[in-house]
Chains A and B, each alone.
Chain A
Amino acid sequence: MNREEVLKLAKLARIGISDDEAETLSHEFEAILNYVGEIKEAKLKTGKMEKPILRNVMRDDANPHESGIHTEALLDSAPEREGQFLKVKKIL
């Protein structure tokens, strides 16, 4: 993996990193991928999986809480708000 590839991945992950960090990361990733890559060659002796214990859980669409009781607490956490809205820069 080279520096350009790391910068592209960082962009996809929406993380701004310096060229120096990308360079260092490219070497670290080589070592890590070399280590985890051993599973690519591993022969899987897959037995039959047991029936999983976990299953999908859906909440009943009933008993809603009173509208608006959490609004203030949640909006208060936002870095920027305008009235009852989160404020962000324009997209278009």
Chain B
Amino acid sequence: MIDLQSLTIAKAREALKKGDFTSREITEASLNAIKEKDGEIHAFLEVFADMALGMADEADKKIKQGVDLPLLGIPVALKDNILVKGQKAGAGSKILENYIATYDATVVQKLYEAGAVIIGRTNCDEFAMGSSTENSAYGPTRNPLDTSRVPGGSSGGSAAAVAAGMVLGAYGSDTGGSIRQPAAFTGIVGMKPTYGRVSRSGLIAMASSLDQIGPFAKTVEDAEILYKAVAGQDPLDSTTVAPTAFPDHGQASGHSREKQSGLTIGVPRDFFEGKLDKEVAENFEQAVKKFESLGYKIKDIELPHLKYSLAVYYILMPAEVSSNLARFDGVKYGLHVDGDNSIDDYFKTRGAGFGREVRRRVILGTYVLSSGYYDAYYGQAVAMKDAITTEVRKAFDDVDLILTPTTPTPAFRFGEKSDPLSMYLADIFTVPGNISGTPSISIPSGFSGKLPLGVLLTACHGEEEVLFKAAEQFENAS
């Protein structure tokens, strides 16, 4: 009997190579775990059982031939906004109900090449808009650690699937924290790569200047395996860059990044102080001490523009959403609701097909882009995004990593954040990573009662290696 709850990708790969079990066996274990647990959790919108077993048999053939690939035979899940050719993909929205993807996302092609077994598509807030999965048109996902609470979002299904031991790894998308926040809420590792590291071709777009695909896993090592399997420049996404594209920033502190010794972690206390639950604040101080005991120097830093990140986010994101979602017109694909005439078709289709939060953001985006308000909101937000990015890059002249809590509170209850602004504030510490485009990882840091907490480690653009190494050291010291 394979216990997916305790098994890691790294261990499973070893066991598959040694022949302790087959990919079919581990895939069946995954399908059984879903059957057993997902009635209550609702992490999956659809399970690709036949396709997964076919992929598992293919993987077993390759393993027998001695082929070695990073994810060969490993069952993983994908958020419902990542396209798998021939399968339904709906971004958790009624407007795309029964839409069948006509091509593979680049990450899916890379997963095929890496030998992964794709188990199914996971639940998410509609078009990735939310922090709890409560905005899914197909009902919310429950947090496996406390089913009266949300798993976070928007990639809550992917997080819950990994945390509940239904799959060994999963992918989500992160526009303002949609990987890292649910990872913290469910006690696992979640990582957003540098903007430009992973192709978004085949990702249903939300806010294109911020969207990035990344992994969920139980361990930092697994997250790194999943990240490396899908990273790389892609001609189909012009924002992806060559691995060497990121310019070195100043290394004033004279450390050795190669040896990961003598590194400095910056802590922007003025950014988060006074915004944390008491237990989150205590847990964070313990995390700081742990890094200190690992030999990291801790330095208080000031990032005066960082506090504007969430405001910038709630201008740029809806603006891009209003533009990106213009394609859903009831003509080319997805839902069509018939109206009196051509334009009434649009009103009826989009009014009925988009859920409340999506309607709210499209209309808000229309406002901030409208003539008369454009300069005050959108123009100023773009300038502020540049100022934040410059400030964060400059901070990395003196420090190697930046540490904050991942979230101000642990997982909240269903319905607790019914006011939109209070829900938006759940992403306050993760949003700066998207605004500045820096790589960022949430790692489990302990518990508040039975609810998991996470800390968020951020590195300079292109420095995923530094990020993973520090995160792994922290994890091993736990």
Contact = CB atoms under 8 A, between A and B. Distances in A.
Interface of A: 1, 6, 9-17, 21, 25, 28-29, 31-33, 35-40, 42, 44-50, 53-54, 56-57, 59, 70, 73-74, 76-80, 86, 88-91
A79 B330 contact: yes
Contacts, number: 152
Given A39-B315, A86-B331, A49 B390 contact: yes
Contact of B387 (A9, A11, A44, A74): A44
Contacts of B383: 44, 46
Interface of B: 99-100, 102, 196, 235, 238-239, 241, 245-247, 304-305, 308, 310-312, 314-315, 322, 326, 329-336, 341-343, 345-348, 350-352, 354, 356, 359-360, 362-367, 370, 376-377, 380-381, 383-384, 386-387, 389-391, 393-394, 419-421, 424, 461
Given A53-B246, A77-B332, A78-B333, A32 B347 contact: no
Nearest to B102: A73
A42 to B, nearest CB: 6
Given A16-B352, A17-B363, A21-B359, 9 more contacts: A9-B367, A21-B356, A36-B311, A39-B381, A44-B384, A49-B386, A53-B241, A79-B333, A79-B334
Q: B102, B334, B341: which has the most chain A beta carbons within 10 Å?
A: B102
A36 B350 contact: no
Contact of B311 (A10, A17, A38, A86): A38
A77 B350 contact: no
B347 A79 contact: no
Contacts of A56: 238
B261 to A, nearest CB: 28
A89 B461 CA distance: 49
A45 B457 CA distance: 26
A10 B336 CA distance: 18
Q: A11, A12, A13, A80: which has the most chain B beta carbons within 10 Å?
A: A13
A56 B238 CA distance: 7
A46 to B, nearest CB: 6
Contacts of B381: 36, 39
A16 B167 CA distance: 40
5 contacts: A17-B351, A21-B356, A28-B420, A77-B99, A77-B334
Contacts of B354: 15
Contacts of A46: 383, 386-387, 390
A17 B238 contact: no
A24 B371 CA distance: 24
A53 B366 CA distance: 29
Contact of A59 (B235, B333, B348, B390): B235
Contacts of B322: 13
A45 to B, nearest CB: 7
Nearest to A47: B390
Contact of B314 (A32, A50, A59, A80): A32
B345 A38 contact: no
Given A36-B377, A40-B380, A77-B102, A16 B347 contact: yes
Nearest to A51: B247
A72 to B, nearest CB: 10
Contacts of B305: 42, 45
A16 B235 contact: no
Contacts of B311: 35-39
A28 B386 CA distance: 28
Q: A6, A29, A89: which has the most chain B beta carbons within 10 Å?
A: A89
Contacts of B393: 50
A54 B380 contact: no
A91 B342 contact: yes
A13 B380 contact: no
Given A39-B315, A89-B341, A53 B347 contact: no
A38 B421 CA distance: 14
Contacts of A36: 311-312, 314-315, 377, 381
